[in-house]
Structures are given as C-alpha cells and as structure tokens.
Amino acid sequence: MYSVRRWSVRHAGAMERFYQAFERAVVALDPLWRRIGYERLEKPVAAFEKVVKGFLFDCQMCGQCALSSTGMSCSMNCPKSLRNGPCGGVRANGNCEVKPDMRCVWVEAFEGSQRMREGQATIRVVQIAVDRRLEGRSSWLKVARDKAVLKTEAAR
Ligand code: SF4
C-alpha cells in the first residue's frame, strides 16, 4: 500500500533497528531451519514474507532483498526496476517520470537512508543485477542460509 510504503521510509531508522535484531534471530536459528529443511520451509515462509513485506514496503518478492541498502524503499517498485539509483527522468518535484503521481523510489531511498544508522554507507554499495531465478523465494531464508555459512567459515 503506497501510504504505508512511504510511512516505512519515514521510519527507516526504526525499521533498520528492528530488522537487524530480526536478522540476528533468523541467522541464529539456522540449525533449526536445517533440521526442518530449508526447501520445506520455502513455501510457507515466502508466503508469510510476501504478506508482511507486501504491506510494509509493497515488496515484489525479488528474493534478494536490498531494503537495508535502499533506505527501506523497495527499488523493485521503480517502473524500470533500477537497483542502483534513479534514471535521468526524475521530475522537479521528486516524482517518477513514468508514474507522475508516485515519488521516485530512489528519491525516497535517499531520504530513508539519511534516517538510518548504516544507511548512508550502504546506499553507496553497488547492487548486483537481479537474479530472476530467485523471484518469489524468501529473502529471509536466503539471508539466514548465506550468513550462517559465512559464520561457519569464519569460525574455521
Ligand atoms: S528488494 Fe526485493 S525482497 Fe526486498 S522488498 Fe523489494 S522486492 Fe521485496
């Protein structure tokens, strides 16, 4: 929902703090996820993630969430799906050239990033191209799996 999406960006600092705590918990539960089976969890977790993030961010379920690097403004709502900043068509009032009634998601992203503790640094990180094979999958589970692997490797 557009108004909720904008609310989330206005509260990007609180969203960041909540997400960091949530992510720590999800990564810590990796042994449980493994026991149940990541693939078995995929469908129900992705469905739940879609409801929660769809409401808060108009999430499009790209499966590789970049919200922490985009000021809590989902860049997949850009009509051109730009993942690394705005195109040259942002209107003088900060709205999108394709959807004149919508704020450019990257104008929102910059504003949101300024409200975050790490957002000002992370918004400068170049995002790799979207991997369409991950569409519809849970990015929460992806983060849990990827970060747990990194943690295990670092402990060796
Ligand atoms: S970046 Fe991807 S996973 Fe994150 S909110 Fe946007 S569409 Fe959803």
Domain spans of the chain?
2-155
Q: How far is the CA of 128 from the centre of ligand 1 (A)?
A: 14
Estimate the crossing angle of helix 38-57 against helix 2-10, to 10 degrees: 90
Confidence at residue 143, expressed as pLDDT on a 0 to 100 scale: 94
| 94 pLDDT above the threshold of 90 | yes
Confidence at residue 150, expressed as pLDDT on a 0 to 100 scale: 86
76 lines ligand 1 (CB under 6 A): yes
Q: Whose CA is nearest to atom 5 of ligand 1?
A: 59
139 lines ligand 1 (CB under 6 A): yes
As a whole-number percent, the residues of the chain with pLDDT over 70 amount to 100
Q: pLDDT of 40-76, one tens digit each?
A: 999 999 999 999 999 999 999 999 999 999 999 999 9
> CA-CA distance, 144 to 38, in Å (whole number)?
10
| 96 pLDDT above the threshold of 80 | yes
Q: How far is the CA of 2 from the centre of ligand 1 (A)?
A: 15
> CA-CA distance, 101 to 98, in Å (whole number)?
9
